[in-house]
Amino acid sequence: MMQVTGAELFLVRLPLVREFTTSSHRKAFLEHVLVRVEDRDGAVGWGEIASPSGPFFAAETVETCWSITTEHLLPRLLGAEWEHPRDAAAAWAAVRGNEFAKAGVDMACWTLWTGARGEPLAAALGGERETVVAGVSLSIEPTVDALLEQVARHVEAGYPRVKLKIAPGWDVEPVRGVRAAFPELALHVDANGAYPGEAADDPGSPLRALDDAGLLMIEQPFAPRDFRAAARLQAGIDTPVCLDESVVEPADLETAIALGACRVLNIKVSRMGGLTPAVAAHDLAGRHGIPVWCGGMHEFGVGRAANVALSSLPGFTLPSDVSGSDKYYSRDVVLPPIRADRGTVRVPWDVAGLGHAVDEEFVRAQATRTAQLSVQPGEQPGEQR
């Protein structure tokens, strides 16, 4: 039986190598919360809460995650006994929503358990691949020429798939420009829900105009809960519609399947509340013949390593957002840093747990806020000191 008796949180800010723009905002740095848990035998596990600082991708923020984790999730986990990471979530089952916060704690339980057992995380999750094909996500740029420069740089680095962020007014022209310059490139677009549902039915919609661009998929064109608009668009175009923000739990995927709202699924550990529900979504999609890929939230090395392990599962047949961390950060929080070699990332089957050592000295030096919780043997969950 596992029992977490101590936990620490670190709010860490890392500057981005290059500013990143989506349909909702622009960012020059990322603040994520790293979760360190320790069991009664001294084994350690790490997780990452990769929520955005502001409520743009989802309702959660760094501040809400910090509060929920310190006041609700960890107090319920500390002192509770569990045999498998899948069971750990029972400790915080009463907490609704707050998937980003849950994801970091769930991830920490998985890496604690696999590290203590001497088992690679990928193996415990059900992975099979020794390497994962990586894609890159490129932001909205000031000009099409600037975008083409970025695409060329990453194609030269060997990445086989490029995802372009789009928004109303930045869609058909940049996509056609990239397609003309790179006719064979595996390309897809991501709107992060920026288009109104009416665009699903408009024959002059930019989303329909992109149907002849040879895209792998159009990702999350509409607001997260607007499954019907996604279904109408999918019925009217050949390009697969991919859902991201719409699918928070497996039941959402069942709804999307019933409505015909998607033909591809982006699985994000953070969005779905951890590795446990991410594996469940992978399995459900597989039963319905829906290919999946692993999306990212510009994770630091802890979350990125977990994404690599998840992407080794058999249903992840499309390139995942697990590009090398040097694309985003000049120095990462894990050793060795995660690197891509000609568009592929190695799965560390020879190292137990996360597969990378956390640079704890660097984490502590970079932390702008910390918290420490503990429980003594014999105390009940919720009696943290």
Q: Which sequence positions are flagged as catalytic?
A: 165, 268
Length of the chain: 385
> Please, are residues 277 and 267 in contact by the beta-carbon 8 Å criterion?
no
Taking each helix axis as running N to C, give the angle between helix 301-311 and helix 275-287, from 0 to 180 degrees, rounded to the nearest 10.
Answer: 30
Pairing outcome for strands 186-190 and 218-219 = parallel
| 251 burial level (CB within 10 Å; 0-12, 13-18, 19+) | exposed
Residues 6+ apart with CB under 8 A from 335: 356, 357, 358, 359
From residue 340, alpha-carbon distances to 13, 19, 200, 270, 308 in Å are 23, 20, 37, 22, 11
Alpha-helix runs per DSSP H in the chain: 62-68, 74-77, 85-88, 99-117, 121-125, 144-156, 172-181, 206-209, 227-236, 250-259, 269-272, 275-287, 301-311, 360-366
Q: What is the SS3 assignment for 79? A: coil
Tokens of 317: 């047949």
CA 100-103-107 angle, 5° bins: 150
What is the C-alpha to C-alpha distance for residues 319 and 135, in angstroms, rounded to an integer? 5
